[in-house]
Amino acid sequence: GIGLMLQLLNSKAKWRLERSKVRLQKEVIDDILKIGFPGAIESSAVSFANTIVQGFINTFGSIVMAATGAFASIEGFSFLPITAFCQAVGTFTAQNVGAMQKKRTMEGCRFGLFMMGISSFVLGMLLLWNSESLMQIFSSDPQTISYGLLRAKITLWFYPLCGLTHCLAAIFRGAGKPMISMLGYVLNWGLLRVIILLFVLPHYHVYSFLCWVYPITWLGSSLFLSWNYMKLDWFPEKKEIYLELD
Protein backbone atom coordinates (compact mmCIF):
# COMPACT_ATOMS: atom_id res chain seq x y z
CA GLY A 1 0.00 0.00 0.00
CA ILE A 2 2.80 2.40 0.88
CA GLY A 3 4.62 1.55 -2.34
CA LEU A 4 1.53 2.19 -4.45
CA MET A 5 0.87 5.51 -2.67
CA LEU A 6 4.44 6.67 -3.31
CA GLN A 7 4.13 5.66 -6.95
CA LEU A 8 0.90 7.66 -7.36
CA LEU A 9 2.37 10.72 -5.63
CA ASN A 10 5.52 10.73 -7.77
CA SER A 11 3.97 9.72 -11.08
CA LYS A 12 4.00 12.14 -14.01
CA ALA A 13 0.97 10.50 -15.62
CA LYS A 14 -2.56 11.92 -15.63
CA TRP A 15 -3.62 9.62 -12.81
CA ARG A 16 -1.05 11.01 -10.39
CA LEU A 17 -2.25 11.81 -6.89
CA GLU A 18 -1.95 15.46 -5.86
CA ARG A 19 -2.32 15.91 -2.12
CA SER A 20 -3.62 19.46 -2.50
CA LYS A 21 -6.59 18.15 -4.52
CA VAL A 22 -7.54 15.31 -2.19
CA ARG A 23 -11.01 16.11 -0.86
CA LEU A 24 -14.45 14.59 -0.50
CA GLN A 25 -16.89 14.94 -3.40
CA LYS A 26 -20.50 14.21 -2.52
CA GLU A 27 -21.47 12.96 -5.98
CA VAL A 28 -18.53 10.56 -6.11
CA ILE A 29 -19.19 9.29 -2.58
CA ASP A 30 -22.85 8.70 -3.47
CA ASP A 31 -21.86 6.62 -6.49
CA ILE A 32 -19.32 4.61 -4.49
CA LEU A 33 -21.90 3.86 -1.78
CA LYS A 34 -24.58 2.94 -4.33
CA ILE A 35 -22.25 0.34 -5.82
CA GLY A 36 -20.38 -0.76 -2.70
CA PHE A 37 -23.17 -1.02 -0.14
CA PRO A 38 -25.29 -3.58 -2.06
CA GLY A 39 -22.13 -5.61 -2.61
CA ALA A 40 -21.44 -5.61 1.11
CA ILE A 41 -24.98 -6.79 1.89
CA GLU A 42 -24.69 -9.45 -0.81
CA SER A 43 -21.44 -10.85 0.57
CA SER A 44 -22.68 -10.76 4.16
CA ALA A 45 -25.94 -12.55 3.33
CA VAL A 46 -24.21 -15.29 1.33
CA SER A 47 -21.58 -15.76 4.06
CA PHE A 48 -24.30 -16.01 6.71
CA ALA A 49 -26.19 -18.58 4.63
CA ASN A 50 -23.01 -20.60 4.13
CA THR A 51 -22.50 -20.61 7.89
CA ILE A 52 -25.93 -22.18 8.29
CA VAL A 53 -25.12 -24.68 5.52
CA GLN A 54 -21.93 -25.61 7.36
CA GLY A 55 -23.97 -26.17 10.50
CA PHE A 56 -26.12 -28.72 8.65
CA ILE A 57 -23.02 -30.34 7.16
CA ASN A 58 -21.68 -30.82 10.68
CA THR A 59 -24.75 -32.89 11.60
CA PHE A 60 -23.54 -35.62 9.24
CA GLY A 61 -20.37 -36.19 11.25
CA SER A 62 -16.64 -35.71 10.96
CA ILE A 63 -16.20 -37.77 7.78
CA VAL A 64 -18.64 -35.61 5.80
CA MET A 65 -17.07 -32.48 7.29
CA ALA A 66 -13.64 -33.62 6.10
CA ALA A 67 -14.98 -34.50 2.64
CA THR A 68 -16.74 -31.17 2.28
CA GLY A 69 -13.66 -29.23 3.36
CA ALA A 70 -11.46 -31.12 0.92
CA PHE A 71 -13.88 -30.61 -1.97
CA ALA A 72 -14.21 -26.90 -1.15
CA SER A 73 -10.42 -26.54 -1.37
CA ILE A 74 -10.39 -28.26 -4.76
CA GLU A 75 -13.31 -26.16 -5.99
CA GLY A 76 -11.59 -22.98 -4.83
CA PHE A 77 -8.75 -23.47 -7.32
CA SER A 78 -11.14 -23.94 -10.23
CA PHE A 79 -13.09 -20.87 -9.19
CA LEU A 80 -10.13 -18.52 -9.64
CA PRO A 81 -10.43 -18.45 -13.49
CA ILE A 82 -14.16 -17.75 -13.17
CA THR A 83 -13.45 -14.83 -10.81
CA ALA A 84 -10.83 -13.39 -13.17
CA PHE A 85 -13.16 -13.73 -16.16
CA CYS A 86 -15.98 -11.98 -14.27
CA GLN A 87 -13.70 -9.08 -13.35
CA ALA A 88 -12.81 -8.65 -17.01
CA VAL A 89 -16.46 -8.73 -18.12
CA GLY A 90 -17.48 -6.30 -15.38
CA THR A 91 -14.73 -3.85 -16.33
CA PHE A 92 -15.61 -4.10 -20.02
CA THR A 93 -19.28 -3.43 -19.26
CA ALA A 94 -18.50 -0.42 -17.07
CA GLN A 95 -16.25 1.16 -19.69
CA ASN A 96 -18.70 0.76 -22.56
CA VAL A 97 -21.85 1.69 -20.64
CA GLY A 98 -20.00 4.78 -19.44
CA ALA A 99 -19.07 5.59 -23.03
CA MET A 100 -22.68 4.98 -24.13
CA GLN A 101 -21.55 2.31 -26.61
CA LYS A 102 -24.73 0.26 -26.65
CA LYS A 103 -23.93 -2.10 -29.53
CA ARG A 104 -20.43 -2.83 -28.26
CA THR A 105 -21.74 -3.38 -24.72
CA MET A 106 -24.36 -5.91 -25.76
CA GLU A 107 -22.00 -7.76 -28.12
CA GLY A 108 -19.35 -7.97 -25.40
CA CYS A 109 -21.81 -9.15 -22.76
CA ARG A 110 -23.20 -11.86 -25.03
CA PHE A 111 -19.71 -13.05 -25.87
CA GLY A 112 -18.73 -12.96 -22.20
CA LEU A 113 -21.75 -15.02 -21.14
CA PHE A 114 -21.12 -17.53 -23.92
CA MET A 115 -17.46 -17.91 -22.98
CA MET A 116 -18.33 -18.19 -19.31
CA GLY A 117 -20.76 -21.01 -20.06
CA ILE A 118 -18.12 -22.88 -22.09
CA SER A 119 -15.23 -22.30 -19.68
CA SER A 120 -17.19 -23.16 -16.53
CA PHE A 121 -18.46 -26.36 -18.16
CA VAL A 122 -14.91 -27.34 -19.12
CA LEU A 123 -13.66 -26.56 -15.60
CA GLY A 124 -16.49 -28.57 -14.09
CA MET A 125 -15.80 -31.58 -16.28
CA LEU A 126 -12.06 -31.45 -15.59
CA LEU A 127 -12.78 -31.44 -11.88
CA LEU A 128 -15.33 -34.24 -12.21
CA TRP A 129 -13.02 -36.50 -14.22
CA ASN A 130 -10.12 -35.94 -11.83
CA SER A 131 -12.06 -35.59 -8.58
CA GLU A 132 -10.95 -38.93 -7.14
CA SER A 133 -7.27 -38.19 -7.68
CA LEU A 134 -7.68 -34.69 -6.30
CA MET A 135 -9.55 -35.93 -3.22
CA GLN A 136 -6.72 -38.37 -2.53
CA ILE A 137 -4.41 -35.37 -2.04
CA PHE A 138 -6.40 -34.44 1.05
CA SER A 139 -7.43 -37.83 2.40
CA SER A 140 -6.68 -41.52 2.05
CA ASP A 141 -9.89 -42.58 3.80
CA PRO A 142 -12.20 -44.32 1.26
CA GLN A 143 -15.36 -43.09 2.94
CA THR A 144 -14.20 -39.48 2.96
CA ILE A 145 -13.28 -39.75 -0.71
CA SER A 146 -16.66 -41.30 -1.54
CA TYR A 147 -18.54 -38.38 0.04
CA GLY A 148 -16.36 -35.92 -1.87
CA LEU A 149 -17.08 -37.77 -5.11
CA LEU A 150 -20.81 -37.69 -4.37
CA ARG A 151 -20.66 -33.91 -3.98
CA ALA A 152 -18.67 -33.66 -7.21
CA LYS A 153 -21.08 -35.83 -9.23
CA ILE A 154 -24.10 -33.80 -8.11
CA THR A 155 -22.76 -30.24 -8.36
CA LEU A 156 -20.14 -30.13 -11.10
CA TRP A 157 -22.59 -30.96 -13.90
CA PHE A 158 -24.31 -27.66 -13.06
CA TYR A 159 -21.15 -25.57 -12.87
CA PRO A 160 -22.19 -23.47 -15.90
CA LEU A 161 -25.13 -22.17 -13.84
CA CYS A 162 -22.71 -21.06 -11.14
CA GLY A 163 -20.49 -19.36 -13.73
CA LEU A 164 -23.49 -17.74 -15.42
CA THR A 165 -24.70 -16.27 -12.12
CA HIS A 166 -21.33 -14.73 -11.34
CA CYS A 167 -20.92 -13.38 -14.87
CA LEU A 168 -24.37 -11.78 -14.90
CA ALA A 169 -23.75 -10.26 -11.47
CA ALA A 170 -20.47 -8.77 -12.73
CA ILE A 171 -22.29 -7.29 -15.73
CA PHE A 172 -24.90 -5.66 -13.50
CA ARG A 173 -22.22 -4.18 -11.24
CA GLY A 174 -20.37 -2.86 -14.27
CA ALA A 175 -23.58 -1.35 -15.61
CA GLY A 176 -24.14 0.46 -12.30
CA LYS A 177 -27.02 -1.83 -11.28
CA PRO A 178 -25.61 -3.58 -8.17
CA MET A 179 -29.02 -3.88 -6.51
CA ILE A 180 -30.06 -6.48 -9.09
CA SER A 181 -27.06 -8.71 -8.44
CA MET A 182 -27.55 -8.26 -4.70
CA LEU A 183 -31.17 -9.42 -4.90
CA GLY A 184 -30.18 -12.39 -7.05
CA TYR A 185 -27.71 -13.61 -4.45
CA VAL A 186 -29.65 -12.71 -1.31
CA LEU A 187 -32.93 -14.24 -2.47
CA ASN A 188 -31.41 -17.46 -3.82
CA TRP A 189 -27.97 -18.14 -2.35
CA GLY A 190 -29.13 -16.69 0.94
CA LEU A 191 -32.85 -16.96 1.63
CA LEU A 192 -33.86 -19.89 -0.61
CA ARG A 193 -30.85 -21.97 0.42
CA VAL A 194 -31.61 -21.48 4.11
CA ILE A 195 -35.35 -22.13 3.73
CA ILE A 196 -34.73 -25.45 1.94
CA LEU A 197 -32.30 -26.59 4.61
CA LEU A 198 -34.41 -25.46 7.57
CA PHE A 199 -37.69 -26.96 6.42
CA VAL A 200 -36.70 -29.99 4.35
CA LEU A 201 -33.39 -31.37 5.56
CA PRO A 202 -34.59 -32.12 9.13
CA HIS A 203 -37.22 -34.47 7.62
CA TYR A 204 -34.96 -35.84 4.86
CA HIS A 205 -31.54 -36.06 6.45
CA VAL A 206 -29.51 -37.30 3.48
CA TYR A 207 -26.17 -35.82 2.40
CA SER A 208 -27.01 -36.06 -1.29
CA PHE A 209 -30.03 -33.80 -0.74
CA LEU A 210 -27.81 -31.19 0.91
CA CYS A 211 -25.56 -31.30 -2.16
CA TRP A 212 -28.56 -30.62 -4.41
CA VAL A 213 -29.15 -27.33 -2.59
CA TYR A 214 -26.26 -25.80 -4.53
CA PRO A 215 -27.43 -26.41 -8.13
CA ILE A 216 -31.03 -25.57 -7.12
CA THR A 217 -30.02 -22.14 -5.85
CA TRP A 218 -27.63 -21.62 -8.78
CA LEU A 219 -30.57 -22.22 -11.09
CA GLY A 220 -32.76 -19.79 -9.16
CA SER A 221 -30.21 -16.99 -9.26
CA SER A 222 -29.43 -17.62 -12.94
CA LEU A 223 -33.10 -17.38 -13.89
CA PHE A 224 -33.61 -14.22 -11.81
CA LEU A 225 -30.54 -12.47 -13.20
CA SER A 226 -31.20 -13.62 -16.79
CA TRP A 227 -34.72 -12.21 -16.68
CA ASN A 228 -33.41 -8.86 -15.43
CA TYR A 229 -30.63 -8.95 -18.01
CA MET A 230 -33.20 -9.10 -20.80
CA LYS A 231 -35.41 -6.41 -19.21
CA LEU A 232 -32.67 -4.03 -18.06
CA ASP A 233 -32.70 -0.40 -19.23
CA TRP A 234 -28.98 -0.26 -19.96
CA PHE A 235 -28.77 3.27 -21.31
CA PRO A 236 -31.07 5.90 -19.75
CA GLU A 237 -31.96 8.90 -21.86
CA LYS A 238 -30.23 11.37 -19.57
CA LYS A 239 -26.70 10.84 -18.35
CA GLU A 240 -25.23 13.05 -15.66
CA ILE A 241 -21.53 13.86 -15.98
CA TYR A 242 -20.03 15.44 -12.89
CA LEU A 243 -16.32 14.73 -13.34
CA GLU A 244 -14.29 17.48 -14.97
CA LEU A 245 -11.46 16.20 -17.13
CA ASP A 246 -8.38 18.15 -18.17
**246 in a structural domain:** no
Cβ distance 218 to 157 under 8 Å? Answer: no
CA distance 111 to 103: 12
**234 in a structural domain:** no
**190 in a structural domain:** yes
Q: Report the number of secondary-structure helices (H) and strands (E) in the chain.
A: 9, 0
Distance of CA 150 to the CA centre of its chain: 23
**59 in a structural domain:** yes
**14 in a structural domain:** no
**10 in a structural domain:** no
Q: Categorise residue 240: left if φ over 0, alpha if ψ from -120 to 50, beta otherwise.
A: beta
Which residue range forms the structural domain that includes residue 199? 25-229
User: What is the sign of the dihedral through the CA atoms of 102, 105, 107 and 113?
Assistant: negative
CB-based burial, 114-124: b 16+ in 10 Å, e otherwise: eebbebbbebb
Provide the CB-side half-sphere exposure for 168 (13 A, CA): 28
pTM score: 0.85
CA distance 170 to 165: 9
Cα end-to-end span (Å), the chain: 27
3-state helix, strand, coil in the chain (%, to 5): 80, 0, 20
**236 in a structural domain:** no
What does each of the 246 residues of the chain score in pLDDT, given as a tens digit? 999 999 999 998 888 888 888 888 888 898 888 888 998 898 888 888 888 898 999 999 999 999 999 999 888 887 888 889 899 999 999 999 888 888 899 999 999 999 999 999 999 999 999 999 999 999 899 999 999 999 999 999 999 999 999 999 999 999 989 999 999 999 999 899 999 988 888 888 899 999 999 999 999 999 999 999 998 777 665 544 444 444
CA distance 217 to 189: 6
If one counts the domains in the chain, the total is: 1
**6 in a structural domain:** no
